């Protein structure tokens, strides 16, 4: 446990000693809030309904580009600078390294989430927000971000090049996000694709329902991603 | 302390290390010598648990590096070849991070920090960022990282590469100082370094051990031969090579035509044979001017060149 915290603290220092954390957090908030309040055919200010779903719809898209930017450096940078060699020869398991790093990205994302609270809080003063739906939506959004970050971590653990990690991250996340639209009809393949798709499970949270199947889906995605990343670290042993 | 038994490491079809066996005794400084790509780094990576051997067994203080990896890692301090450091961190932050991972806390942390700052001479830079440091200081931070948990064993992969002569001497002194209480294995491709710092030398070439022993033992193994360096003016290279064959006990090692037109020759002669007169007569006959002629004892460098060249010719 101490080892995980050591890694976590080091990553947080790196994020906040450089402009990375600031850039990532502020760009997400600026773009998402702008899209929500003032963009498209039905901007919030025009439709006049106390509903913050737009935050999560737009947020899911913006996060598709932001989350891999947070996680791309996690392993790639260590590989590129050879610091990974030192890290994996210290008394710490590969999984502890992965979990410590992953935790730091979750905290960055939690800060982003707190930043988005401005919208529901201000709207709750002027209209009637369904708090149940707001809370379940936030849980869904957190799980969505956590899954994106975990996939980004997988991409980072396979290459020493951060740009490649970023692009592979975006593409993989996009595939999982859009999967439910790839096969139509009600056949086995279509059902499979739908159930594997991030968007399919994500949408349920906006109805104010916490379904165990959706929770299980996100938790499995995260667990499998962390497992793959850890295995990728261990692959040095089998070369 | 470290026992390596019939270890082979293969990358696909290529054997980076082939059936290597040796032991390192407690408190010993072992110089690991070899040309680039000989398998030094690969061997060190296996000892430090970075990767397991393909075949064979490595034990550290009786613990297997594969099955008891975590306990082995606690005993070892490792400085990889490229001195990997987190550029964006401060020196103190970095050492604190290593101490965190190695679970050194409280009073032990404070005294460990004081000790490595003192031993590695980091007082002036402890509050700087790593990316502001010179190469020499980076190397010292790398060493500080390796000894912060006061390990029994130090593995240093080419610790003096890229340093200037003063820094090299500082790091060598540091290695010797650390070697007083620890088992040290360090690699290099510089002969003087091994001679200056280590108790025992292990020469590795193309993945196999070419020689093993103290520096004196290795030099003794070359006895039976003497070495002469010669510089001639007005001599033609091919004529020289042709005419030196008349002196049967000479074995040419190297003939270099210098920019000045002088010929620089190094050759081996059977021990006990004095060829000075023959050389003089030859020079007079061919009207060469002898600028320099110096016999010399064999150095470890000669041993190394002989062993590693023979390896690549066969």
What is the nearest CA distance from B133 to chain A, expressed in angstroms? Answer: 16
Full domain range(s) for residue A72: 2-233
- The whole-number average pLDDT for the span B277-306 is 78
- The whole-number average pLDDT for the span A146-172 is 96
Answer whether A9 sits within 8 Å of B97, measured CB to CB.
yes
Q: Report ipTM for this prediction.
A: 0.88
User: For residue B194, is pLDDT > 50?
Assistant: yes
pLDDT at B224: 60
Please report residues of A whose CB lies closer than 8 A to that of B73.
Answer: 89-91
Q: A46 pLDDT band (50/70/90 cuts)?
A: low
User: For residue B161, is pLDDT > 90?
Assistant: no
pLDDT at A175: 93
Cβ within 8 Å of A, B 125-164? 145
Please report residues of A whose CB lies closer than 8 A to that of B100.
Answer: 2-3, 5-6, 9-10
Q: Is there a domain that residue A239 lies in? A: no
What is the nearest CA distance from B86 to chain A, expressed in angstroms? Answer: 7
What is the nearest CA distance from B52 to chain A, expressed in angstroms? Answer: 6
Answer whether B86 sits within 8 Å of A93, measured CB to CB.
no
User: For residue A106, is pLDDT > 60?
Assistant: yes
What is the nearest CA distance from A91 to chain B, expressed in angstroms? Answer: 5
Cβ within 8 Å of B, A 107-166? none
State the Cα–Cα distance between residues B112 and B106, nearest whole angstrom.
Answer: 10
pLDDT at B169: 86
User: For residue A48, is pLDDT > 80?
Assistant: no
Query: Hey, is the C-beta of B310 within 8 angstroms of any chain A C-beta?
Result: no
In chain B, pLDDT over 70 holds for what percent of residues? 93
Closest Cα to residue A85, out of B142, B96, B247?
Answer: B142
Q: A4 pLDDT band (50/70/90 cuts)?
A: very high
pLDDT at B271: 64
Q: Mutate one of A6, A80, A89, A100 to test the B interface: name it (highest B CB count within 10 A).
A: A89
What residues are paired with B79 via a beta bridge?
B156
Closest Cα to residue B267, out of B291, B281, B250?
Answer: B250
Cite the DSSP H helix spans in chain B: 40-47, 69-75, 91-101, 106-119, 135-147, 165-179, 191-197, 215-220, 237-244, 276-286, 300-313
State the Cα–Cα distance between residues B103 and B109, nearest whole angstrom.
Answer: 9
* Structural domains of chain B sorted by starting position, each given as residue range(s) with its CATH number in brackets: 2-220 (3.40.50.300), 225-297 (3.30.70.3190)
In chain B, pLDDT over 90 holds for what percent of residues? 40
Please report residues of A whose CB lies closer than 8 A to that of B45.
Answer: 85
Answer whether B101 sits within 8 Å of A83, measured CB to CB.
no
Q: Is there a domain that residue A93 lies in? A: yes
- The whole-number average pLDDT for the span B154-180 is 87
Answer whether B100 sits within 8 Å of A5, measured CB to CB.
yes
pLDDT at B254: 81
User: For residue B25, is pLDDT > 80?
Assistant: yes
- List the single residue in A84, A89, A237 with the smallest CB-CB distance to B78: A89
Q: What is the DSSP letter of B224?
A: S
Query: Hey, is the C-beta of B63 within 8 angstroms of any chain A C-beta?
Result: no
Q: Is there a domain that residue A39 lies in? A: yes
Q: Is A95 helix (H, G, I), strand (E, B) or coil?
A: helix
Residue B93: closest C-alpha in chain A: A10
Q: Is there a domain that residue A209 lies in? A: yes
| Cβ within 8 Å of residue B32, ≥6 positions away | B40, B43, B44, B185, B186, B187, B188, B202, B204
Q: B188 pLDDT band (50/70/90 cuts)?
A: confident
pLDDT at B95: 95
DSSP code string of B134-185: -HHHHHHHHHHHHHTT--SEEEEESTTTT--HHHHHHHHHHHHHHHTTSEEE
In chain A, pLDDT over 70 holds for what percent of residues? 96
Comparing B247 with A59, the larger pLDDT belongs to A59
Mean pLDDT of chain A: 90
Domain count, chain A: 1
pTM above 0.90, yes or no: no
- The whole-number average pLDDT for the span B58-76 is 93
State the Cα–Cα distance between residues A123 and A117, nearest whole angstrom.
Answer: 10
pLDDT at A41: 65
Please report residues of A whose CB lies closer than 8 A to that of B97.
Answer: 6, 9-10
- On whether the CB atoms of residues B195 and B225 are closer than 8 A, the answer is no
What is the nearest CA distance from B11 to chain A, expressed in angstroms? Answer: 6
Q: Could you tell me if residue B42 is left (phi over 0), alpha (psi between -120 and 50 degrees) or otherwise beta?
A: alpha
User: For residue B259, is pLDDT > 90?
Assistant: no
Mean pLDDT of chain B: 86
Determine which of A159-173, B30-44, B209-223 has the lowest per-residue pLDDT on average: B209-223
Answer whether B101 sits within 8 Å of A91, measured CB to CB.
yes
pLDDT at A191: 83
User: For residue B79, is pLDDT > 60?
Assistant: yes
State the Cα–Cα distance between residues A127 and A121, nearest whole angstrom.
Answer: 10
Please report residues of A whose CB lies closer than 8 A to that of B185.
Answer: none
Answer whether A86 sits within 8 Å of B82, measured CB to CB.
no
User: For residue A2, is pLDDT > 60?
Assistant: yes
Answer whether B84 sits within 8 Å of A85, measured CB to CB.
yes
Answer whether A86 sits within 8 Å of B93, measured CB to CB.
no
- On whether the CB atoms of residues B225 and B36 are closer than 8 A, the answer is no
pLDDT at A123: 85
pLDDT in tens, B204-249: 888 888 888 887 777 766 656 677 888 888 888 888 888 887 777 7
User: For residue B314, is pLDDT > 50?
Assistant: no
pLDDT at A138: 93
pLDDT in tens, A182-225: 777 777 888 888 888 888 899 889 888 889 999 999 999 999 99
């Amino acid at each position: 446990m101490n080892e995980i915290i050591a890694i976590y603290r080091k990553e947080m220092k790196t994020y906040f000693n450089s402009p990375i954390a600031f850039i990532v957090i502020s760009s997400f908030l600026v773009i998402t809030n702008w899209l929500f309040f003032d963009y498209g055919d039905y901007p919030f200010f025009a439709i006049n309904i106390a509903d913050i779903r737009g935050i999560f719809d737009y947020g899911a898209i913006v996060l598709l580009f932001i989350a891999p930017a947070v996680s791309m450096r996690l392993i790639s940078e260590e590989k590129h600078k050879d610091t990974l060699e030192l890290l994996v020869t210290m008394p710490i398991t590969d999984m502890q390294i992965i979990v410590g790093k992953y935790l730091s990205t979750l905290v960055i994302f939690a800060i982003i989430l707190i930043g988005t609270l401005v919208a529901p809080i201000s709207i709750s003063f002027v209209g009637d927000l369904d708090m149940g739906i707001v809370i379940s939506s936030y849980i869904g959004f957190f799980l969505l971000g956590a899954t994106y970050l975990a996939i980004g971590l997988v991409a980072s653990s396979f290459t020493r090049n951060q740009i490649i990690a970023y692009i592979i991250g975006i593409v993989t996340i996009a595939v999982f996000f859009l999967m439910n639209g790839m096969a139509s009809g009600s056949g086995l393949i279509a059902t499979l694709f739908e159930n594997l798709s991030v968007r399919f499970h994500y949408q349920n949270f906006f109805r104010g329902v916490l379904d165990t199947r959706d929770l299980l889906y996100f938790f499995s995605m995260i667990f499998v991603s962390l497992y793959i990343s850890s295995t990728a670290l261990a692959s040095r042993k089998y070369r | 302390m470290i026992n390596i038994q019939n270890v082979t490491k293969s990358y696909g079809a290529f054997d980076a290390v082939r059936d290597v066996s040796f032991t390192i005794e407690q408190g010993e400084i072992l110089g690991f010598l070899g040309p680039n790509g000989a398998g030094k780094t690969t061997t060190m990576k296996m000892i430090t648990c970075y990767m397991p051997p393909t075949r064979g067994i490595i034990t550290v203080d009786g613990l297997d590096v594969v099955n008891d990896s975590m306990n082995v890692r606690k005993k070892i301090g490792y400085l990889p070849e490229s001195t990997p450091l987190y550029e964006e961190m401060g020196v103190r932050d970095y050492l604190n991070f290593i101490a965190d991972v190695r679970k050194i806390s409280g009073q032990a942390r404070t005294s460990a920090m004081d000790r490595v700052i003192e031993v590695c001479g980091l007082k002036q830079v402890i509050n700087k960022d790593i990316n502001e440091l010179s190469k020499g200081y980076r190397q010292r931070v790398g060493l500080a990282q390796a000894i912060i948990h006061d390990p029994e064993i130090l593995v240093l992969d080419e610790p003096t590469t890229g340093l200037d002569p003063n820094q090299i001497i500082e790091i060598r002194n540091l290695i010797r100082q650390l070697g007083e209480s620890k088992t040290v294995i360090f690699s290099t491709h510089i002969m003087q370094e091994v001679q200056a710092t280590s108790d025992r030398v292990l020469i590795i070439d193309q993945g196999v051990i070419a020689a093993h022993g103290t520096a004196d033992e290795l030099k003794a193994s070359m006895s039976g031969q003497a070495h002469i360096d010669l510089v001639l003016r007005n001599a033609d290279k091919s004529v020289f090579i042709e005419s030196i064959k008349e002196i049967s006990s000479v074995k040419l090692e190297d003939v270099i035509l210098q920019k000045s037109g002088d010929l620089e020759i190094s050759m081996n002669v059977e021990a006990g044979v004095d060829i000075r007169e023959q050389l003089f007569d030859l020079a007079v006959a061919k009207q060469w001017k002898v600028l320099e002629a110096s016999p010399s004892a064999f150095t470890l460098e000669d041993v190394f060149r002989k062993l590693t060249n023979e390896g690549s010719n066969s």
